[in-house]
Amino acid sequence: MKIQNVHDAAFAAYGKVVEGLDCADIIAAMGATPCPEGTVYVPGDAALEACASAADVAYTLYGGMPIQIGYCNGNNHKLNGLEYHRDSEINIAVTDLILLIGKEQDIVDGKYDTSKVEAFLVPAGTVIEVYATTLHYAPVNAAPGGFKCVVVLPKGTNTDLEKRAPKNAEDKLLFARNKWLLMHPEAAEPGQYVGLVGENITIE
């Protein structure tokens, strides 16, 4: 698979590189977070949210709305799933990492063909906005040793949701608060919607 760069023009369909925000204190605070053999996701981390630049992120990127600042760290080489939110997600690459992404508009009858996925390198230190209509999931390794990625979202996103009987087809994808999830059959766990068809993309 061709690995592009978030600074390439092709990324404009999925998001943008954010300039002018100094998030060095958040990146430094990430040093205390684990990087396991698998992956770990924490929606909100008190140490990251206490950083001085957190207020700038909330003001500049979410217009002053309440936010959570967490992280996704670890070692991963597979697509496994894709999710989307009703809001943009901000990622701060602490290490080099690769995002496998697609477009919500390409979901047809609750299914998404993984041949449409594109790969983008996010260099360490880069802040990006991932648009609400961009399908994404855990990053994959850009180098041995794993990845660390700050994840900023509206407060409450990706937290536990009381499941209800679906009212429409999209409700079947709703897995957590503000999180619609499509999993590959190779990686799906009980309660997760299987919506990816095709190869479970692997980047070694």
The tens digit of pLDDT for each residue in 126-178 reads: 999 999 999 999 999 999 999 999 999 999 999 999 999 999 999 999 999 99
Mean pLDDT, to the nearest integer, of 45-69?
98
Pick from 40, 115, 77, 83: nearest CA to 183 = 83
Distance, in Å, from the CA atom of 173 to the CA atom of 34, rounded to the nearest integer, reads: 29
Residue 144, amino acid: P
Residue 147: phi and psi, rounded to 5, are -140, 155
Q: Biggest alpha carbon distance in the chain? A: 44
Q: What's the pLDDT score for residue 98?
A: 98
For the chain, the domains span: 3-76+88-157
pTM tops 0.95 = yes
Give me the chain's average pLDDT, please. 97
The CATH code for residues 3-76+88-157 is 2.60.120
Provide the token pair at 185. Answer: 């059959």
What is the number of alpha carbons within 13 Å of residue 196 lying toward its C-beta?
30
Q: What's the pLDDT score for residue 196?
A: 98
Handedness of CA 45, 117, 181, 143 (dihedral sign): negative
